[in-house]
Amino acid sequence: MPEFSTIPLAEVPDLDRSTNGGHRWSGADRELVRQWYGKVPKEKLAERIGASQKAVSLVASYLGVGTRPRSANHSWTEEEDCEVRRGYDGTRRSGEVLARNLGLTYDQVKGRVQALGVARVTHRAWTPAEDAQLAALLDKGRTCVAIGRILGRSENSIKIRAQRHHRFRFGVRNGWYTKKDACEILGVDHRWLQARIDNGALKAKPHFEGDAPQKNGQHPWHIEEEDLAEFIRTYPQELQGRNVDLVAIVDLLAGLKRAPLDYLSPESVAHYRGLGWSDRQIGRHYGVSNHTVKRLTE
């Protein structure tokens, strides 16, 4: 086989390169693609043949020496899912290898990895000193975002750790939840949840009768605890396991009883006010606005 650099450039007029008529492929051209596709840069191969890079890619796919990307709306099979689970190790290289083997793009494989919940997650173990610092910061009324910055952890990590130690129950009130609470528990965005409220799959009503819910949280949605649990039981297939708050869902479905201070109530507001907390700090602790805290005690 001759060296690629010794193959002369194709003598094709510029007009043929730029018009829709394109390049007329000969047997020799196809043989060049079969021998050199994937071994030399595509632009160099296209230059030698006198065709566009897109044409070279298409011919390579028809000859069985190239990978032709499938549609973005690819229907995944069980065998492909198994191959993704076996082959993905959390690195980009493994994703690219899977994409090449399956004839898909890297983004398609990455999306499927996330949908299957097999993306590698690096966990950093909590230390007793961090637990003590977390408890102290929660007692001071600091938000989960602020605590996360101090401890170098994500907001969600702070919430889950605090919940497991029963030091903080975000989004838990006296038997009801706001729309924001439900979004955090189910791991979805507000538009997704609003669509389920609108079609009746999830029962919800304005918390303050006569006041339509607002984006600023002053007039929240009221979702009964049992209604949220019923939605989870009826439509579990719509939830992604890697996004949900598993601790909150287990408590919700099991109907576990919680301590009085876990609920936003006049008693809990009075308790924290007695500790010197402001209404804003109390609102942040329970995930509501200070307006809601004030209105509860009026």
Tokens representing residue 96 in the block: 């690219």
Say which range, 15-29, 38-52, 112-126, 284-298, has the weakest mean pLDDT.
15-29
Same domain, 175 and 292: yes
Same domain, 42 and 82: no
- Asked if residue 255 belongs to a domain, the reply is yes
Structural domain boundaries, residue 43: 4-63
Same domain, 175 and 284: yes
Three-class DSSP category at 196: helix
- Asked if residue 151 belongs to a domain, the reply is no
Tokens representing residue 212 in the block: 């339509």
Same domain, 276 and 225: yes
Same domain, 195 and 285: yes
Average pLDDT over residues 9-32: 58
Say which range, 183-187, 210-214, 292-296, has the weakest mean pLDDT.
210-214
Same domain, 56 and 92: no
- Degrees to nearest 5, angle at CA 55 with 50 and 59: 110
Same domain, 86 and 37: no
Say which range, 65-69, 268-272, 290-294, has the weakest mean pLDDT.
65-69
- Asked if residue 144 belongs to a domain, the reply is no
Same domain, 193 and 291: yes
Average model confidence (pLDDT) for the chain?
Answer: 76
Between 290 and 234, whose confidence is greater?
234
Q: Give the largest Cα separation in the chain, rounded.
A: 90
Same domain, 248 and 275: yes
Residue 11 has pLDDT above 50, yes or no: no
d(CA 39, CA 5): 12
- Asked if residue 276 belongs to a domain, the reply is yes
Query: What digits encode the pLDDT tens for the residues 228-252?
Result: 999 999 998 888 877 787 777 887 8
d(CA 40, CA 74): 29
| Cβ neighbours of 222 (radius 10 Å) | 19
Contact criterion met (CB below 8 Å) for 105 and 99 = yes
Same domain, 258 and 235: yes
Q: How many domains does the chain have?
A: 3
Contact criterion met (CB below 8 Å) for 9 and 50 = yes
pLDDT of residue 165: 64
Continuous segment of H or E residues that includes residue 176: strand 176-177
Same domain, 90 and 195: no
Q: How confident is the model at residue 259 (pLDDT cuts 50, 70, 90)?
A: low
Residue 162 has φ and ψ, to the nearest 5°, of -65, -35
Q: How confident is the model at residue 275 (pLDDT cuts 50, 70, 90)?
A: confident
Q: How confident is the model at residue 18 (pLDDT cuts 50, 70, 90)?
A: very low
Residue 260 has pLDDT above 60, yes or no: no
Same domain, 101 and 208: no
Residue 123 has pLDDT above 70, yes or no: no
- Asked if residue 157 belongs to a domain, the reply is no
